[in-house]
Protein backbone atom coordinates (compact mmCIF):
# COMPACT_ATOMS: atom_id res chain seq x y z
CA UNK A 1 0.00 0.00 0.00
CA UNK A 2 3.00 2.19 0.37
CA UNK A 3 1.86 4.52 3.10
CA UNK A 4 4.48 5.35 5.67
CA UNK A 5 7.42 5.55 3.32
CA UNK A 6 7.73 9.23 4.26
CA UNK A 7 7.85 8.50 7.97
CA UNK A 8 10.46 5.80 7.63
CA UNK A 9 12.64 8.05 5.50
CA UNK A 10 12.37 10.95 7.95
CA UNK A 11 13.26 8.80 10.94
CA UNK A 12 17.04 8.86 11.00
CA UNK A 13 18.41 6.07 13.18
CA UNK A 14 21.56 8.12 13.81
CA UNK A 15 19.54 10.88 15.46
CA UNK A 16 16.40 9.17 16.69
CA UNK A 17 16.74 6.66 19.48
CA UNK A 18 15.18 3.35 18.58
CA UNK A 19 11.66 3.07 19.93
CA UNK A 20 12.38 -0.49 21.09
CA UNK A 21 15.64 -2.37 21.41
CA UNK A 22 15.56 -6.05 22.27
CA UNK A 23 18.81 -7.90 22.73
CA UNK A 24 18.97 -11.65 23.23
CA UNK A 25 15.66 -11.64 25.08
CA UNK A 26 14.90 -14.95 26.82
CA UNK A 27 11.72 -15.94 28.68
CA UNK A 28 11.06 -19.43 30.00
CA UNK A 29 7.97 -21.05 31.49
CA UNK A 30 9.45 -23.99 33.40
CA UNK A 31 11.10 -26.26 30.84
CA UNK A 32 9.61 -24.35 27.88
CA UNK A 33 11.68 -21.54 26.35
CA UNK A 34 8.88 -19.34 24.99
CA UNK A 35 11.26 -16.59 23.79
CA UNK A 36 14.70 -17.79 22.80
CA UNK A 37 17.45 -15.16 22.35
CA UNK A 38 15.34 -12.72 20.36
CA UNK A 39 17.02 -9.52 19.14
CA UNK A 40 15.54 -6.68 17.08
CA UNK A 41 15.14 -2.90 16.94
CA UNK A 42 11.96 -0.95 16.26
CA UNK A 43 12.45 2.43 14.57
CA UNK A 44 10.67 5.50 15.87
CA UNK A 45 7.58 6.23 13.77
CA UNK A 46 7.15 2.85 12.13
CA UNK A 47 4.47 0.18 12.35
CA UNK A 48 6.41 -2.88 13.42
CA UNK A 49 4.73 -6.27 13.37
CA UNK A 50 5.71 -9.39 15.26
CA UNK A 51 4.07 -12.16 13.26
CA UNK A 52 3.86 -15.90 13.60
CA UNK A 53 1.53 -18.80 14.38
CA UNK A 54 -0.19 -19.34 17.72
CA UNK A 55 2.31 -20.33 20.37
CA UNK A 56 5.26 -18.68 18.59
CA UNK A 57 6.00 -16.43 21.60
CA UNK A 58 4.57 -13.12 20.38
CA UNK A 59 2.50 -12.29 23.47
CA UNK A 60 5.34 -13.23 25.80
CA UNK A 61 7.69 -10.95 23.83
CA UNK A 62 5.31 -7.97 23.78
CA UNK A 63 4.62 -8.40 27.51
CA UNK A 64 8.35 -8.35 28.27
CA UNK A 65 8.66 -5.14 26.25
CA UNK A 66 5.66 -3.53 27.98
CA UNK A 67 7.15 -4.47 31.34
CA UNK A 68 4.35 -6.86 32.35
CA UNK A 69 6.70 -9.84 32.32
CA UNK A 70 10.24 -10.04 33.62
CA UNK A 71 12.68 -11.54 31.10
CA UNK A 72 14.97 -14.34 32.32
CA UNK A 73 17.86 -12.77 30.46
CA UNK A 74 18.70 -10.31 27.74
CA UNK A 75 17.99 -6.62 27.60
CA UNK A 76 14.96 -4.57 26.59
CA UNK A 77 14.83 -0.78 26.14
CA UNK A 78 11.75 1.20 25.20
CA UNK A 79 12.66 4.76 24.19
CA UNK A 80 15.82 4.24 26.19
CA UNK A 81 13.90 3.15 29.31
CA UNK A 82 14.17 -0.20 31.09
CA UNK A 83 10.61 -1.58 31.28
CA UNK A 84 11.27 -3.21 34.67
CA UNK A 85 13.32 -0.50 36.37
CA UNK A 86 11.62 2.55 34.78
CA UNK A 87 8.09 1.15 34.67
CA UNK A 88 6.36 4.26 36.07
CA UNK A 89 8.06 6.56 33.59
CA UNK A 90 7.36 4.17 30.73
CA UNK A 91 3.70 3.75 31.67
CA UNK A 92 3.21 7.48 31.00
CA UNK A 93 4.70 7.24 27.52
CA UNK A 94 3.21 4.02 26.18
CA UNK A 95 -0.28 3.01 25.16
CA UNK A 96 -1.42 -0.53 25.81
CA UNK A 97 -4.41 -2.34 24.41
CA UNK A 98 -6.28 -3.83 27.35
CA UNK A 99 -8.35 -6.96 27.20
CA UNK A 100 -12.09 -6.55 27.73
CA UNK A 101 -11.85 -8.90 30.72
CA UNK A 102 -9.93 -6.16 32.54
CA UNK A 103 -12.99 -3.87 32.71
CA UNK A 104 -16.39 -4.38 34.37
CA UNK A 105 -18.97 -5.06 31.60
CA UNK A 106 -21.42 -2.44 32.87
CA UNK A 107 -18.90 0.40 32.71
CA UNK A 108 -19.89 3.08 30.18
CA UNK A 109 -17.50 4.12 27.42
CA UNK A 110 -17.09 7.62 28.90
CA UNK A 111 -16.47 6.20 32.39
CA UNK A 112 -13.76 3.88 31.10
CA UNK A 113 -12.04 6.77 29.32
CA UNK A 114 -12.22 9.09 32.36
CA UNK A 115 -10.94 6.31 34.56
CA UNK A 116 -8.00 5.61 32.26
CA UNK A 117 -7.24 9.32 31.84
CA UNK A 118 -7.00 9.62 35.63
CA UNK A 119 -4.19 7.04 35.72
CA UNK A 120 -1.78 9.37 33.91
CA UNK A 121 0.00 12.66 34.65
CA UNK A 122 -0.95 13.93 31.20
CA UNK A 123 -3.97 12.93 29.18
CA UNK A 124 -5.69 14.21 26.05
CA UNK A 125 -9.33 15.25 25.76
CA UNK A 126 -10.89 11.93 24.77
CA UNK A 127 -14.03 13.38 23.11
CA UNK A 128 -12.28 14.05 19.76
CA UNK A 129 -10.83 10.54 20.00
CA UNK A 130 -14.34 9.09 20.20
CA UNK A 131 -15.35 11.12 17.13
CA UNK A 132 -12.30 9.89 15.17
CA UNK A 133 -13.03 6.33 16.17
CA UNK A 134 -16.70 6.63 15.14
CA UNK A 135 -17.85 6.10 18.72
CA UNK A 136 -19.34 9.52 19.49
CA UNK A 137 -22.86 8.10 19.74
CA UNK A 138 -21.64 5.32 22.04
CA UNK A 139 -20.22 7.63 24.70
CA UNK A 140 -22.85 6.68 27.28
CA UNK A 141 -23.27 3.05 26.20
CA UNK A 142 -22.23 0.26 28.58
CA UNK A 143 -19.21 -1.60 27.20
CA UNK A 144 -21.09 -4.92 27.20
CA UNK A 145 -23.64 -3.60 24.68
CA UNK A 146 -21.04 -2.80 22.00
CA UNK A 147 -20.16 -4.99 19.00
CA UNK A 148 -16.73 -6.63 18.74
CA UNK A 149 -15.44 -3.93 16.39
CA UNK A 150 -16.80 -1.12 18.59
CA UNK A 151 -15.19 -2.64 21.68
CA UNK A 152 -11.85 -2.89 19.90
CA UNK A 153 -12.15 0.81 18.97
CA UNK A 154 -12.81 1.65 22.63
CA UNK A 155 -9.61 -0.20 23.52
CA UNK A 156 -7.75 1.83 20.89
CA UNK A 157 -9.14 5.02 22.47
CA UNK A 158 -8.05 3.81 25.92
CA UNK A 159 -4.57 3.10 24.55
CA UNK A 160 -4.32 6.67 23.19
CA UNK A 161 -5.77 8.58 26.14
CA UNK A 162 -2.34 9.44 27.60
CA UNK A 163 -1.02 10.68 24.21
CA UNK A 164 1.68 7.96 24.15
CA UNK A 165 4.81 7.91 21.98
CA UNK A 166 4.46 4.18 21.35
CA UNK A 167 1.35 2.01 21.20
CA UNK A 168 1.23 -1.78 21.67
CA UNK A 169 -1.49 -3.95 20.12
CA UNK A 170 -1.59 -7.70 20.71
CA UNK A 171 -3.80 -9.40 18.10
CA UNK A 172 -5.92 -6.29 17.69
CA UNK A 173 -8.11 -7.74 14.95
CA UNK A 174 -8.64 -11.28 16.23
CA UNK A 175 -12.30 -12.16 16.28
CA UNK A 176 -13.28 -9.33 13.91
CA UNK A 177 -14.96 -9.79 10.55
CA UNK A 178 -12.91 -8.86 7.45
CA UNK A 179 -14.56 -5.45 7.09
CA UNK A 180 -13.96 -4.40 10.72
CA UNK A 181 -10.42 -5.71 10.36
CA UNK A 182 -9.78 -3.43 7.39
CA UNK A 183 -11.15 -0.37 9.17
CA UNK A 184 -8.91 -1.27 12.12
CA UNK A 185 -5.92 -1.22 9.75
CA UNK A 186 -6.82 2.32 8.72
CA UNK A 187 -7.03 3.39 12.35
CA UNK A 188 -3.61 1.92 13.07
CA UNK A 189 -2.15 3.70 10.02
CA UNK A 190 -3.69 6.96 11.33
CA UNK A 191 -1.94 6.44 14.66
CA UNK A 192 1.38 6.22 12.83
CA UNK A 193 0.51 9.36 10.83
CA UNK A 194 0.26 11.17 14.17
CA UNK A 195 3.93 10.43 14.68
CA UNK A 196 3.55 7.52 17.08
CA UNK A 197 5.37 4.21 16.87
CA UNK A 198 3.11 1.17 16.64
CA UNK A 199 4.22 -2.27 17.82
CA UNK A 200 1.73 -5.00 17.05
CA UNK A 201 1.49 -8.75 16.99
CA UNK A 202 -0.65 -10.73 14.60
CA UNK A 203 -1.06 -14.25 13.30
CA UNK A 204 -2.67 -12.88 10.12
CA UNK A 205 0.04 -12.71 7.47
CA UNK A 206 -2.13 -10.59 5.18
CA UNK A 207 -2.56 -8.05 7.98
CA UNK A 208 1.19 -7.84 8.50
CA UNK A 209 1.78 -7.51 4.77
CA UNK A 210 -0.77 -4.72 4.29
CA UNK A 211 -0.16 -2.76 7.46
CA UNK A 212 3.42 -3.05 8.69
CA UNK A 213 6.49 -1.12 7.59
CA UNK A 214 8.63 -3.98 8.85
CA UNK A 215 7.84 -7.41 10.19
CA UNK A 216 9.71 -9.84 12.36
CA UNK A 217 8.59 -13.40 11.68
CA UNK A 218 8.64 -15.54 14.81
CA UNK A 219 8.37 -19.32 15.14
CA UNK A 220 9.01 -21.50 18.20
CA UNK A 221 10.40 -18.59 20.21
CA UNK A 222 12.92 -17.50 17.58
CA UNK A 223 12.99 -14.85 14.87
CA UNK A 224 13.33 -16.40 11.45
CA UNK A 225 13.28 -13.15 9.41
CA UNK A 226 13.05 -9.39 9.78
CA UNK A 227 12.52 -6.86 6.97
CA UNK A 228 9.85 -4.96 5.09
CA UNK A 229 7.14 -7.26 3.70
CA UNK A 230 8.18 -6.23 0.20
CA UNK A 231 11.83 -7.15 0.76
CA UNK A 232 10.91 -10.46 2.39
CA UNK A 233 8.69 -11.40 -0.53
CA UNK A 234 11.33 -10.26 -3.05
CA UNK A 235 13.91 -12.46 -1.30
CA UNK A 236 11.96 -15.60 -2.20
CA UNK A 237 13.66 -17.66 -4.83
CA UNK A 238 10.42 -18.83 -6.40
CA UNK A 239 9.53 -15.69 -8.34
CA UNK A 240 6.14 -16.03 -9.93
CA UNK A 241 3.41 -18.50 -10.55
CA UNK A 242 0.99 -18.85 -13.41
CA UNK A 243 -2.17 -20.82 -12.69
CA UNK A 244 -4.74 -22.07 -15.19
CA UNK A 245 -7.40 -24.76 -15.60
CA UNK A 246 -7.43 -27.51 -18.22
CA UNK A 247 -10.12 -30.02 -19.21
CA UNK A 248 -8.87 -33.59 -18.87
CA UNK A 249 -5.33 -34.87 -19.39
CA UNK A 250 -2.59 -32.35 -20.07
CA UNK A 251 0.98 -33.04 -21.20
CA UNK A 252 3.26 -30.53 -19.48
CA UNK A 253 6.47 -31.46 -21.37
CA UNK A 254 6.39 -28.32 -23.54
CA UNK A 255 5.96 -26.08 -20.49
CA UNK A 256 8.79 -27.78 -18.59
CA UNK A 257 11.10 -27.19 -21.55
CA UNK A 258 10.52 -23.40 -21.51
CA UNK A 259 13.39 -21.24 -20.30
CA UNK A 260 12.56 -19.68 -16.91
CA UNK A 261 10.12 -22.43 -15.87
CA UNK A 262 11.24 -24.08 -12.62
CA UNK A 263 8.27 -26.34 -11.82
CA UNK A 264 4.93 -27.53 -13.18
CA UNK A 265 2.35 -29.07 -10.87
CA UNK A 266 -1.03 -30.56 -11.71
CA UNK A 267 -3.83 -31.07 -9.20
CA UNK A 268 -6.99 -32.22 -10.92
CA UNK A 269 -7.84 -29.59 -13.54
CA UNK A 270 -5.55 -27.01 -11.98
CA UNK A 271 -2.05 -26.48 -13.34
CA UNK A 272 0.50 -24.31 -11.50
CA UNK A 273 3.65 -23.21 -13.31
CA UNK A 274 6.45 -21.64 -11.25
CA UNK A 275 9.23 -19.64 -12.81
CA UNK A 276 11.05 -16.38 -13.14
CA UNK A 277 11.96 -13.68 -15.65
CA UNK A 278 10.07 -10.84 -17.34
CA UNK A 279 8.85 -12.97 -20.24
CA UNK A 280 7.69 -15.84 -18.02
CA UNK A 281 3.95 -15.17 -18.29
CA UNK A 282 3.94 -14.50 -22.04
CA UNK A 283 6.09 -17.54 -22.81
CA UNK A 284 3.74 -19.81 -20.81
CA UNK A 285 0.69 -18.36 -22.57
CA UNK A 286 2.43 -18.58 -25.97
CA UNK A 287 3.36 -22.22 -25.42
CA UNK A 288 -0.23 -23.14 -24.50
CA UNK A 289 -1.59 -21.32 -27.58
CA UNK A 290 0.85 -22.88 -30.01
CA UNK A 291 0.33 -26.34 -28.45
CA UNK A 292 -3.42 -25.99 -28.97
CA UNK A 293 -4.13 -26.54 -25.26
CA UNK A 294 -7.71 -25.76 -24.18
CA UNK A 295 -7.07 -23.71 -21.04
CA UNK A 296 -9.13 -21.22 -19.05
CA UNK A 297 -8.84 -18.85 -16.07
CA UNK A 298 -5.17 -18.15 -16.71
CA UNK A 299 -3.80 -15.80 -14.04
CA UNK A 300 -0.60 -14.95 -12.23
CA UNK A 301 -0.11 -15.33 -8.49
CA UNK A 302 2.32 -13.12 -6.62
CA UNK A 303 4.06 -14.71 -3.67
CA UNK A 304 3.03 -13.28 -0.30
CA UNK A 305 4.18 -13.40 3.32
CA UNK A 306 2.52 -16.80 3.76
CA UNK A 307 4.93 -18.12 1.13
CA UNK A 308 7.83 -16.47 2.96
CA UNK A 309 6.80 -18.29 6.14
CA UNK A 310 6.44 -21.57 4.25
CA UNK A 311 9.89 -21.26 2.69
CA UNK A 312 11.57 -20.28 5.97
CA UNK A 313 9.92 -22.82 8.25
CA UNK A 314 8.83 -25.58 5.87
CA UNK A 315 5.24 -25.42 7.12
CA UNK A 316 2.07 -23.50 6.41
CA UNK A 317 1.01 -20.68 8.73
CA UNK A 318 -2.51 -22.03 9.13
CA UNK A 319 -2.93 -25.74 9.73
N1 LIG B 1 1.79 -18.22 31.55
C2 LIG B 1 2.29 -19.25 30.86
N3 LIG B 1 2.70 -20.38 31.47
C4 LIG B 1 3.22 -21.41 30.78
N5 LIG B 1 3.35 -21.42 29.44
C6 LIG B 1 2.94 -20.35 28.76
C7 LIG B 1 2.39 -19.20 29.42
N8 LIG B 1 2.09 -18.27 28.50
C9 LIG B 1 2.41 -18.80 27.31
N10 LIG B 1 2.93 -20.04 27.46
C11 LIG B 1 3.46 -20.91 26.39
O12 LIG B 1 4.54 -20.20 25.77
C13 LIG B 1 4.51 -20.36 24.35
C14 LIG B 1 4.40 -18.99 23.71
O15 LIG B 1 3.14 -18.45 24.04
P16 LIG B 1 2.69 -16.98 23.62
O17 LIG B 1 3.76 -16.03 23.98
O18 LIG B 1 1.34 -16.75 24.17
O19 LIG B 1 2.67 -17.14 22.03
P20 LIG B 1 1.76 -16.38 20.92
O21 LIG B 1 1.32 -15.08 21.50
O22 LIG B 1 2.68 -16.25 19.75
O23 LIG B 1 0.61 -17.28 20.62
C24 LIG B 1 3.35 -21.28 24.06
O25 LIG B 1 3.85 -22.59 23.94
C26 LIG B 1 2.45 -21.14 25.27
O27 LIG B 1 1.69 -22.31 25.47
MG1 LIG C 1 -0.59 -14.21 21.63
Q: Which of the four CATH numbers 3.30.70.100, 3.40.50.720, 3.30.360.10, 3.40.50.1370 does domain 240-302 have?
A: 3.30.70.100
Residue 126 CA, ligand 1 centroid: distance in Å = 34
- What's the pLDDT at 101? 67
Domain ranges of the chain: 5-234, 240-302
| Res. 7: pLDDT tops 80 | no
pLDDT class of 235 with cuts at 50, 70, 90: confident
pLDDT in tens, 147-187: 988 999 999 999 999 999 999 999 999 888 888 899 899 99
Q: Does residue 266 line the site of ligand 1, with CB under 6 A? A: no
Choose which residue among 25, 32, 38, 168 to substitute to test ligand 1 binding: the one with the highest number of ligand atoms within 8 A of its C-beta.
Answer: 32
Closest ligand to C-alpha of residue 60 is 1
Sheet with 222-227, side-by-side order of all strands? 94-96, 166-170, 197-202, 47-51, 214-219, 222-227
Residue 202 and residue 97: Cα distance in Å, rounded? Answer: 13
- What's the pLDDT at 132? 87
- What's the pLDDT at 14? 53
pLDDT class of 16 with cuts at 50, 70, 90: low
pLDDT class of 3 with cuts at 50, 70, 90: very low
Residue 212 and residue 127: Cα distance in Å, rounded? Answer: 28
pLDDT class of 279 with cuts at 50, 70, 90: confident
Residue 244 and residue 253: Cα distance in Å, rounded? Answer: 16
- % the chain with pLDDT above 70: 92
pLDDT class of 238 with cuts at 50, 70, 90: low
Q: What is the CATH number of domain 5-234?
A: 3.40.50.300
Which range, of 80-94, 138-152, 210-224, 291-305, averages the lowest pLDDT?
291-305
Residue 231 CA, ligand 2 centroid: distance in Å = 25
| Res. 262: pLDDT tops 90 | no
- What's the pLDDT at 156? 93
- What's the pLDDT at 4? 38
What pTM was estimated for this model as a whole?
Answer: 0.83
- What's the pLDDT at 273? 93
Q: Does residue 53 line the site of ligand 1, with CB under 6 A? A: no
| Mean pLDDT across 103-112 | 92
Choose which residue among 52, 57, 62 to substitute to test ligand 1 binding: the one with the highest number of ligand atoms within 8 A of its C-beta.
Answer: 57
Amino acid sequence: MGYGSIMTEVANPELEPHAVQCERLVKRYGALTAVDEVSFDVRAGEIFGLVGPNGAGKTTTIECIEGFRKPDSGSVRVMGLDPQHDRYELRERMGVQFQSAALPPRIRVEEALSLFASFYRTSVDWRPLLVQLALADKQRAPLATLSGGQKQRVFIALALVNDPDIVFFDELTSGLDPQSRRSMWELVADIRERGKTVFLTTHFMEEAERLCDRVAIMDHGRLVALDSPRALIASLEAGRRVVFQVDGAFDDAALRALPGVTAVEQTGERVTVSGEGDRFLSSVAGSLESGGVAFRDLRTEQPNLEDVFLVLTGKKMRE
